[in-house]
Structure 1
Amino acid sequence: MEKLYTKDDIIAKAREVANMIANTEEVEFFKRAEEQINENQKVRENIASLKSLQKQAVNFQQYGKEKALKIIEGKIEKIQNEIDAVPIVQEFKQSQFEVNDLLQLVSNTIANSVTDEIIMSTGGNVQRGETGSYVKNTTYNKL
């Protein structure tokens, strides 16, 4: 009989995988890029302005001040474009995408592997995605 794992066993392995992910080139690049952004005074000032304008936009929206909201939205877009034009910001966003992509890949791999393990352990058909009990109890297999 195969070993049965506890939730604690699985959580321990998940923490191990998390540690592995946290120590990848993608995450290291992400951290360096974030540090460089935080050291860039112009970007920091633009981010502070952006946050302030976003708060104003929320207030204008709540009070139905459409004209003022449009003006603020234009300013937000201008500052956002200035921030996005900084090369390190572009690199940071790319690294964010890559880290998220890695996390999604790990998540999908786990989900697909669990499904395949269940199907195989019940004597099912992985290609059709059918568990053994489904295969045994459907009429098309008895034809």
Structure 2
Amino acid sequence: MAYSKEEVLNKVEEITTRLDELEEVERFKALEARLNDNQKVKDLIEQIKKLQKQAVNLQAYGKVNAVKQIDDQIDAIQAEIDALPIVDEFKSAQVVVNDLLQRITANINDKVNEKFNSIE
């Protein structure tokens, strides 16, 4: 049976809709929303951005030691962000969803290759 391009694209749309409804994906999206709404995370990210701008300016003037100090400050703030429970939870959910997507992609790739190889 032959399918039109439109039928295949419609099926892809259906699959992506079903993926969005998976418990793992819904959990990831909920954690992402909580993380994006977290004021402490926003403030720390803003601090990192300011420090990065300072580092760029200092680097332009060849202030290597000052850049190193700022990089250390950025690393400390990043460690503070990473230590937050919401960030850890988000990263775990991200790993689960990424693994799921990789398995689905590999499965689709295998099936497509099987079909093309059987044509030869």
What is the CA deviation profile of residues 2-43 of structure 1, one whole-angstrom value per residue up to 9, with x for unaligned ones? x22222222211111111111111111112212222333222
1:49 alignment counterpart: 47
Flag structure 1 segments of 5+ consecutive residues without an equivalent.
123-132, 134-143
**Aligned AA for 1:25?**
E
Query: 1:121-136, aligned counterparts within 5 Å?
Result: 121-122=118-119, 133=120
1:8-87 correspondence runs (5 A): 8-61=6-59, 64-87=62-85
Change (3 A) 1:57 1:109: farther
| C-alpha separation in 1, matches of 2:76 and 2:14 | 43
Structure 2 counterpart of 1:89: 87
For the residues of structure 2 that align with 1:58 and 1:24, how far apart are their CA atoms?
43
Q: Which amino acid aligns with 1:105?
A: R
Provide the aligned C-alpha RMSD in A. 1.9
| Greater percentage in helix | 2
Q: Which moved more, 1:106-115 or 1:29-38?
A: 29-38
Distance 1:4 1:58 in 2: 57
- Determine which structure has greater relative contact order: mean sequence separation of CA pairs < 8 Å that are 6+ residues apart, divided by chain length: 2
Give the whole-Å Cα distance in 2 for the aligned partners of 1:105 and 1:88. 26
TM-score by length of 2: 0.85
Structure 2 match to 1:117: 115
Structure 2 counterpart of 1:86, one-letter code: L
Identity of aligned pairs, percent?
46
* Shift, 1:46, TM fit: 0.7
- Once residues 64 and 14 of structure 1 are traced to their aligned partners in structure 2, the CA distance between those partners, rounded to angstroms, is 52
Structure 2 residue ranges without an equivalent (≥5): none
Instruction: Name the CA shift for 1:59/1:15 in 2 (closer, same or farther; >3 Å).
Output: farther
Once the two structures are overlaid, the 10-residue window that deviates more, 72-81 or 42-51, is 42-51
1:70 Cα offset (Å): 0.9
CA distance in 1 between counterparts of 2:99 and 2:20 reads: 14
AA matched with 2:97: V
Larger Rg: 1
TM-score normalised by length of structure 1: 0.73
